[in-house]
Structure 1
Amino acid sequence: MTVPPPAPATRRFGRRAAGALPALVPLLFVGALFLAPLAALAKRAFDDADAVSLAEAWRRTEALDLLGVTVGMAAASAVLAVLVAAPIVWLVSTVDLPGMLAVRVLVTLPFVLPTVVVGVAFRALGTGLLDGFGLDSGLGAILLAHVFLNVAVVVRVVSAVWQQVDPQAVVAARTLGASPWRAFLDVVAPRLVPAVAAAAALVFLFCSTSFGVIVILGDGRVRTLETEIYQQGVGYFRIPEAVSLSFLQILLVVCALLLARLLGRSAPATSDRGGRRQRPRGWVWFAVFAVSAWTVLWLVVPIGSLVVRSLRPGGQWSTAGYRVLFDDASSVSIADSLRYSVSSAFAAMVIAVAVGLIAATVMTRRRDAVAKVGAALAILPLGVSAVTLGFGYVVLTTYLPREVGTSSLLIPAVQALIAIPVVIGMVVPALAEVPQRRRDAAAVLGAGPARVFWTVDLPMIGRSLGAAAGFAFVMAMGEFGATTFLAQAHTTTLPVLIGSLMGRPGADNLAAAMAASVLLVAVSAAVVFFVELAAPRGAQAAVGGRR
């Protein structure tokens, strides 16, 4: 008996179903690793015998006061970051010098450094070069560290817009008699204002979820929503109170994320020709030297203080801290932590690139509901703090077999979840630049969708994909917030160990923490140099991440 061929409608449905399968990969991955811990938090809070109303839990934890401190600190950090970054934006956007690659690396490096390392660096700066100014800890030290961390956000977001401003509009203004300053105010500034606002909103977002910096520099005196979630959940194991603060934190972060997206979309149209960087002439050289000194002051001095302090942990020159790094006989298992950090970050990078590439391809190829849901879920981790996520995993593992909670694969999976939004942010623009006619030509010659992607898309996005992989690796290696909750004896990453060492008394522990921090700075700098070298010319790395 001959089986009749499927009807055309059935074939079309089958093709649509098969085409929707890739969209399920990011949806399932993010759903399992992102939504599940949040659901576990909510379930545990409502099932807890001591559960109280949300309002009562907020009253007990002084949530509104914590919210005020968090918002005020994040807003002040955003304003200071914009002010500090403004001269550097001008340098990166308009000046052409042989060493601009080094400048880009220098600007980007602080943003990808582990926050615990930044905290250690500013502790070293406050007790060294700035000793006597009261900046070794407290709110002042935290604000300085936040500015150091987030200058790259402002520089990259604003300079990307500045470089696309039509130079002919500036020339026309000058022809009509406008001075250089007036031409800037009338032509360039209106186009930069939305970008500045969007960058400030992003800085606010990142600072409102700051954890490592406040743990190191707050000395327990500065309490924010993020640190109090950790204290209530881990320190006191008051689940309902911790969950209530997590809900408040989620609301704050989502509002900041939506504001950043809204402001980013309100930028006026720019020219595809863009502006050209020029060699400085005359008085511009003075401005270049002044801004270079300003850049060194904010971005080099803290790292330099960390290096010096690592060699003078007790006031005398010594390499004891570095010897501990690779001393297997030491009670401080830094070598084991380093090995695990590298292997975990590499595994996280592979996962993040694979899932992020699928999500980015879906976002640029499909417009149906499944694709949109999968793509939205892939970037949702930006909207929840790492501490809330980590705390959710602690609760979730109580419902799962013990082998899951102690698995060495759990931390790489969580690190990948945090890096996926960055991979998507860097790959989507690259895929959008692939000419559709090349794909159509390959399809006409008989290539299937997978072959078209392998032979057409992948070679053209290779540099962007390599840069995304580098960012994913360094972000995974430096993740501190969620990993703090999940680390066990055999899965302690280097940032978590540094935070632990900073809380222990003794000069040896301080020396080891400083030396390990310098090691992470060196690794991060090498990866950022690779990213800047590999990224397509003129491309700006996506700004995203977790503190």
Structure 2
Amino acid sequence: MRARFNFQSLILLVPLAFLALFYFYPLGAILGFSFFGSGALDLSGFQEIFSDPYYLNVLWFTTWQAALSTILTVIAALPAAYIFARYQFRGQTLVRALTTLPFLMPTIVVAPAFIALFGPRGILNTALMNLLGLTVPPIQLLDTIWIIFLAHIFYNYTIVFRIVSTAWANLDPQLGNAAQMLGANRTRVFFEITLPLLMPAILAAALLVFIFDFTSFGVILLLGGARLATLEVEIYRTAANLFDLPLAAALSLVQILFTFIFILAYTILQARLAAPIRLRPQAITRRALKTVGEKIFVAANIAAMLLFLLAPLVVLILESLQTAQGFGLQNYFALNENVRGSATFIPPTDAIRNSLLFASITVALAVAFGLLAAYAITRTRRGGGVFDAVFLLPLATSAVTLGFGYIIAFSRTPLDFRAALWLIPVAHTLVALPLVIRSIVPLLRQIKPNMREAAALLGANPTRVFREIDLPIVTRAVIIGAVFAFIISLGEFGATTLIARPEWTTIPLAIYRLLGQPGLANYGQAMALSAILMLVSAAAIALMERARFGEGAEF
């Protein structure tokens, strides 16, 4: 018994120690610096935030753009959620997998994709100018709230779609049928029976989307221009451009408080989703398309959904091939060319090497800590739920806030790690760790205890039981978690902008710098680099879908 206790304590203490040093300590440093940045109690940062109209406007803009983006995302995704919940048709699994692409794409790819589609030199404006003989681009969406709404819907569509469609597919259709037999029409059935039963799932999905939109960084920074800024963008600009660290710390603390409140509300809604209601297997609740009207309805919705979700990504590839002489690979061949002759030029190919190196380290760290944490969560009889919530906390913390915390916490002895190369993959690991854990925990919970007990009775120690019983069963989940970590590391932008040294530029940083420089050559290289990142991420997502073990896996 003591050996078992020591073993379980050890596997729990290792990931907790990692979380304590690289998550709680930086957040604590932000908390302390926001109140005692000058060496004594100083509330001037908070006074400035809540008295200066500029920062109040930033807080208000952050809130209302996230709320409206969430509402639009829910409205856009509900028709597809209904179709996938109630109908069975050929190619359904493939279409469902394709909807995941935008959400798992790095945000630094989403912004160039929308620039390639809607920008002044984008494919839509170019086509309309050639068709109508115009000299000015007719579509002016860049640096406006409208392109931010479109990008947020594009990025978060699959969250609402997957969560709501899964809940809807498990609702018993007989509830609605019974109401119709009593005289209720379809509209009344939907609003009085289906919608109330779906509301916990809709609210949970909406709150998760709201959290992502509230902490939006790359989309706002690249598409919103200098005029539009969320709290996340303002923290970055205050720390990196204005070097006002006490004010940036106060802004970070405000955002942390808001996001923790939102994630608490999300966990409460998730608990309500687990409330006992009459559920039926999806094989029973779904049916084949019968009438011509149903086929047209489903085909039109699927076509519109795929057009919206895939068009920006396809256009990005086309734009990366566009040159002054027509289509070609010149933008890719020019990735090592120093167009402006800058002495500080970092070849984008070096950024690719750096990103792959950091992603490899991140996968190793995230899988190792994720396995230990998932095993501890599922094997701990008391407090397993508490530890589960603790390991999910990084999901409620923005990457920019985390990176800023590293600047404050690791810039002085004895923990002066600011120049350490390994700090970048450590930050990436923290961002990826919650998703790795959520990939592994469901399968570990499905392992029957008597399998482990039988192995123990035959003389196997806990390490051997884990290696020969648990690990083979969760291998596919580990692969999915590793792919999550790889994709997240490749596209991580928020924390990396603050802690990466110039010689360790990653692909997202190289894209951001190329987009910020004038000239068609830099624009073409940015599109080419974005296309490479997108294709590598898409290949990783395809591997993950191939390893997926069914509808029961957590999103």
TM-score, structure 1 as length reference: 0.90
Aligned position for 1:285: 295
- Call closer, same or farther: CA 1:373–1:279 in 2, change over 3 Å: closer
Q: Which amino acid aligns with 1:306?
A: L
- The Cα shift of 1:44 comes to 3.8
Q: Which amino acid aligns with 2:58?
A: L
Q: Secondary structure at the match of 2:18?
A: helix
Find out whether 1:323 has 2:333 as its counterpart. Answer: yes
- Stretches of structure 2 that go unaligned for 5 or more consecutive residues are 126-136
Comparing 91-100 and 294-303, the one that deviates more: 91-100
8 Å Cα contact 2:7-2:462 kept in structure 1: no
8 Å Cα contact 2:31-2:253 kept in structure 1: no
Find out whether 1:441 has 2:430 as its counterpart. Answer: no
8 Å Cα contact 1:166-1:270 kept in structure 2: no
Aligned position for 1:125: 117
Aligned position for 1:275: 282
C-alpha separation in 1, matches of 2:277 and 2:551: 15
C-alpha separation in 1, matches of 2:69 and 2:324: 32
Aligned position for 2:128: none
Q: How many residues align?
A: 530
Aligned position for 1:40: 29
- Call closer, same or farther: CA 1:173–1:480 in 2, change over 3 Å: same
- The Cα shift of 1:234 comes to 1.2
Q: Which amino acid aligns with 1:53?
A: S
Aligned position for 1:411: 424
- Call closer, same or farther: CA 1:400–1:345 in 2, change over 3 Å: farther
Comparing 516-525 and 185-194, the one that deviates more: 185-194
Comparing 118-127 and 262-271, the one that deviates more: 262-271
1:65-214 equivalence runs, <5 A: 65-127=57-119, 128=122, 129=124, 131-167=137-173, 169=175, 187-214=193-220
C-alpha separation in 1, matches of 2:46 and 2:336: 51
C-alpha separation in 2, matches of 1:407 and 1:184: 57
8 Å Cα contact 2:81-2:165 kept in structure 1: yes
Find out whether 1:342 has 2:356 as its counterpart. Answer: yes
C-alpha separation in 2, matches of 1:61 and 1:500: 31
Find out whether 1:379 has 2:359 as its counterpart. Answer: no
Aligned position for 1:4: none
Aligned position for 1:8: none
Say which of 379, 402, 423 aligns to 1:365: 379
- The Cα shift of 1:28 comes to 0.6
Comparing 294-303 and 274-283, the one that deviates more: 274-283
8 Å Cα contact 2:101-2:541 kept in structure 1: yes
- Call closer, same or farther: CA 1:361–1:271 in 2, change over 3 Å: farther
Say which of 502, 507, 511 aligns to 1:489: 502
Find out whether 1:28 has 2:34 as its counterpart. Answer: no
Find out whether 1:56 has 2:47 as its counterpart. Answer: yes
C-alpha separation in 2, matches of 1:113 and 1:42: 32
- Call closer, same or farther: CA 1:75–1:351 in 2, change over 3 Å: same
Q: Secondary structure at the match of 1:266?
A: helix
Aligned position for 2:480: 467
C-alpha separation in 2, matches of 1:194 and 1:315: 54
Cα deviation per residue 1:86-113 (whole Å; 9 max; x = unaligned)?
Answer: 1221233333333223312321111111
8 Å Cα contact 2:84-2:169 kept in structure 1: no
Say which of 286, 291, 305 aligns to 1:295: 305
Q: Which amino acid aligns with 1:89?
A: A
C-alpha separation in 2, matches of 1:426 and 1:315: 47
Aligned position for 1:424: 437
8 Å Cα contact 1:24-1:374 kept in structure 2: no
Q: Which amino acid aligns with 1:217?
A: L
8 Å Cα contact 2:29-2:408 kept in structure 1: yes
C-alpha separation in 1, matches of 2:191 and 2:281: 18
Q: Which amino acid aligns with 2:202?
A: V
Cα deviation per residue 1:9-41 (whole Å; 9 max; x = unaligned)?
Answer: xxx566534431211111111111112222333
Q: Which amino acid aligns with 2:537?
A: S
8 Å Cα contact 2:113-2:313 kept in structure 1: yes
Q: Secondary structure at the match of 1:137?
A: coil
- Call closer, same or farther: CA 1:338–1:437 in 2, change over 3 Å: same
C-alpha separation in 2, matches of 1:174 and 1:455: 54
- The Cα shift of 1:316 comes to 4.5
- Call closer, same or farther: CA 1:213–1:187 in 2, change over 3 Å: same
Say which of 453, 456, 464 aligns to 2:466: 453
Say which of 365, 384, 394 aligns to 1:351: 365
- Call closer, same or farther: CA 1:339–1:162 in 2, change over 3 Å: same
TM-score, structure 2 as length reference: 0.89
- Call closer, same or farther: CA 1:135–1:526 in 2, change over 3 Å: same
- Call closer, same or farther: CA 1:326–1:430 in 2, change over 3 Å: farther
Cα deviation per residue 1:72-91 (whole Å; 9 max; x = unaligned)?
Answer: 01101110111111122123
Aligned position for 1:5: none
- Call closer, same or farther: CA 1:328–1:220 in 2, change over 3 Å: closer
1:230-269 equivalence runs, <5 A: 230-267=236-273, 268-269=275-276
Q: Which amino acid aligns with 2:249?
A: V
**Root-mean-square deviation (CA), in Å?**
2.6
Cα deviation per residue 1:22-77 (whole Å; 9 max; x = unaligned)?
Answer: 11111111111112222333344414269543432313584322111101011011
C-alpha separation in 1, matches of 2:414 and 2:521: 39
Aligned position for 2:315: 305
Say which of 197, 216, 225 aligns to 1:219: 225
